[in-house]
Amino acid sequence: MITACAVDDLPAGESVRVSGDVAIAVFNADGEFYAIDDTCSHQDASLSEGWLEGCFVECPLHAASFDLRTGVPTCLPAKKPVRTYPVVVQDGVIYVDTRSREAVA
Amino acid sequence: MRTVVVAGASLAGLRSVEELRKQGFDGRVVVIGEEVHAPYDRPPLSKAFLAGTLPAEELALAEQSDVDEWAAEWRLGVRAERVDPHAGEIHLSTGEIVRTDGLVIATGGRARTLPGTSALGGVHTLRTLDDAVALRADLRPGARVVVVGAGWIGAEVASTCRELGLDVTVAEAAPVPMERALGASLGRICADLHADHGVDLRLGVGVAGFTADGTRVNGVTLQDGSHLPADVVVAGVGMEPATGWLHGSGLPLDNGVLCDTGCVTPIPSVVAVGDVARYRTPEGRQVRHEHWTNASEQPVVAVRNLLAGTTLDTFRPSGYVWSDQYGVRLQLAGETSGADEIAMIDGSPDDRKFVAEFRRDGHAVGVLAMNNAKLFGRMRRRLSAAAGH
């Protein structure tokens, strides 16, 4: 379990990059928190810098769009999904569970 | 419409196949591709692929499952040599004739070469996978590299060669790199990037000729009389649209295939997309883009108009370009060449992190960002909204 940030520091529509062995991007999509691999599965770009629309994030480099719930890309140029992680909110802090890396579709 | 031929099997051709199926065309799709390779992504050829950090298998543009689903006939390693649009016949380099009802022209272009180098070993251009493989093989340890042209490709190749530890000189005929797209002040920042990374940048001086040891290049002579020793020369001097095969077809050709605001030629069953397409803007100018995003976006509109048999949709370019060089990411969008004012709105060039806005008559027309993808994304959206996308 890694600490992302305080809930208050991640208002709706915002994202944060959490560095670690593998960088993770955490999003607040209209009040729901999602965590995915920060690096786009297509080429080197940080998804936490992408454009958030509903529960989809668009890569800031080539506009590949990923579903935050599943990590699955919805259009080219990305072909492979990114990993998704469970998010836990406790005492006003957002945590990402990286131990149980969820299998992706 | 029962058969559509897509001439060209790179990004614009592949996206055309995808759009044909997405938009419900269930007839026969035949793709003619001059290269033997299945569609691959070109941008990494000057970067990760050239550096040896990205294998060729990872360049594939499409998943096999998608390719299977589209069920197109791929004729790779075959050239379209002539077309008779009225008879609906495409003549191939194999001697075959394919009969078709619709044609998507997506033949891209060829890299421009330096005069007097056709017989010289060690002189490269970079556009195809085979070009990149050949150049990479020449970038041996200790090789002295001269890059001619400080545009996007030249800068990326120079950057990758420095990453490989090679000596690099870049010769650019213009006084400032990228001046037309970025203006003089931002162009100078690109010049600084070269200098910061130990590249010998020669500005405002053209190439006079080449010296050789036997059949292999060993130097470049500049117009100021200086001589640059070189084991490898890379020409980054632009491209020419591949329209030679269309001569005699009756299609209007002038620095590309001339088409209307929806990428449709005067023959409604023929459309053009990607680097080869010179379409009309709503303001009446004929423009041609040589960018990845354009090749990816145009097929959406072109295919819709092709299937409709008339120009229903107008193409609106996003004008988005990116470049990774010397560890920085540059992102550019909009119509920057006509700007009368450039405002630094965030960060500073000295920090190698900034966003600059291009304005004309006080209105934002373009944006350039260095290492600031987040703000760039927001501004790019604002730009397209203002342009009525």
For chain B, the domains span: 3-110+239-308, 113-235, 327-386
Helices B292-308 and B11-22 pack at an angle, to 10 degrees, of 40
Nearest to A45 among B15, B373, B381 (CB): B373
Cis geometry, peptide bond prior to residue A77 (ω within 30 degrees of 0): yes
Give the whole-angstrom CA distance, residue B213 versus residue B122: 11
Does the complex come out with an ipTM higher than 0.90? no
In eight-state DSSP terms, residue B253 is B
What sign does the dihedral B125-B126-B127-B132 (CA atoms) show? positive
Count of beta carbons in the 10 Å neighbourhood of residue B195: 10
Yes or no, beta carbons of B296 and A60 under 8 Å apart? no
Nearest to B377 among A43, A51, A79 (CB): A51
The residues on A that touch B, with CB distances below 8 Å, are 43-46, 49-51, 58, 60-63, 76-77, 79
CB contact under 8 A, A43 and B374: no
Cβ count near B163 (within 10 Å) = 17
Q: What is the pTM of this model?
A: 0.92
Cβ of B275 under 8 Å from any chain A Cβ?
no
Task: Mark out the alpha helices in B259-345 (DSSP H runs).
Answer: 292-308
Identify the closest residue of chain A to B322 by CA–CA distance. A61
Residue B225 and residue B221: Cα distance in Å, rounded? 6
Q: How many CB atoms lie within 10 A of CB B356?
A: 25
Which residues make beta-bridge pairs with B233?
B123, B146
CB contact under 8 A, B373 and A79: no
- Distance (Å) from the C-alpha of residue A51 to the closest C-alpha of chain B? 7
Q: Which of A46, A60, A77 sits opposite B41 (nearest CB)?
A: A77
Question: Using CB atoms, which residue from B63, B329, B331 is nearest to A79?
Answer: B63
Question: Residue A50: closest CA among chain B residues belongs to which residue?
Answer: B374
Q: What is the mean pLDDT of chain B?
A: 95
* Phi-psi region at B69: left, alpha or beta (left = phi > 0; alpha = psi -120 to 50): alpha
By three-state DSSP, how is residue B191 classified? helix
B70 in A contact zone (CB under 8 Å): no
Residue of A nearest to B62 (CA): A79
Quick: pLDDT tens for B129-181: 999 999 999 999 999 999 999 999 999 999 999 999 999 999 999 999 998 88
* C-alpha radius of gyration, chain A, whole number: 12
Q: How many CB atoms lie within 10 A of CB A81?
A: 18
**Strand partners of residue B146:** B169, B233
Domains of chain A, by residue range, sit at 2-96
pLDDT score of B42 = 96
A74 neighbourhood in chain B, CB within 8 Å: none
Q: Which two tokens stand for residue B264?
A: 């449709």
Q: Is residue B106 a contact partner of residue B274, using CB atoms and an 8 Å limit?
A: yes
CB atoms within 10 A of CB B110: 16
Decide if B322 and A61 are in contact by the 8 Å CB cutoff.
yes
- Evaluate whether B205 touches B225 at the Cβ level (below 8 Å): no
B388 pLDDT band, cuts 50/70/90, is: low
Indicate yes or no: CB of B374 within 8 angstroms of CB of A60.
yes
What is the spatial distance between Cα B57 and Cα B40, in angstroms, rounded to a whole number?
Answer: 9
User: What secondary structure does DSSP assign to A60-101, as a single string?
Assistant: TTT--EEETTT--B-STT--SPPPEE-EEEETTEEEE--SSP
Of A41-50, B87-96, B213-222, B351-360, the least confident: A41-50
For helices B179-196 and B152-163, what crossing angle results, to 10°?
10
CATH superfamily of B3-110+239-308: FAD/NAD(P)-binding domain (3.50.50.60)
Matching fold, domains B3-110+239-308 and B113-235: yes
What parts of chain A have a pLDDT lower than 50? 102-105
**What is the pLDDT averaged over residues B60-72?**
93
Integer distance in angstroms from the first to the last C-alpha of chain A?
A: 23
CB spacing of A46 vs B373 below 8 angstroms: yes
Do B208 and B178 form a contact (C-beta atoms < 8 A)? no
Note whether B347 and B354 are within 8 A (CB): yes
Distances in whole angstroms, Cα of residue B239 to Cα of each of A41, B9, B126, B249, B348: 30, 17, 10, 22, 33
Give, in order, the Cα–Cα distances in Å from B213 to each of A7, A47, B206: 68, 50, 22
Fold classified for B327-386: Enolase-like; domain 1 (3.30.390)
Q: What is the pLDDT of residues B335-348, one digit of tens each?
A: 888 899 999 999 99
Q: Give the CATH class of A2-96.
A: mainly beta
Residue B179 has what pLDDT? Answer: 87
Q: Among A43, A60, A77, whose Cβ lies nearest the Cβ of B373?
A: A60
**Helix, strand, or coil here: B17?**
helix
Give A45's contacts in chain B (Cβ within 8 Å): 373
Question: Contact at 8 Å (CB) between B233 and B134?
Answer: no
Close Cβ partners of B144 (under 8 Å, ≥ 6 residues apart): B166, B167, B169, B229, B230, B231, B232
Class assignment of domain B113-235?
alpha beta
Taking contacts as CB-CB distances below 8 angstroms, the residues of chain A near B15 are: 76
pLDDT for A105 equals: 41
Q: How many CB atoms lie within 10 A of CB B35?
A: 17
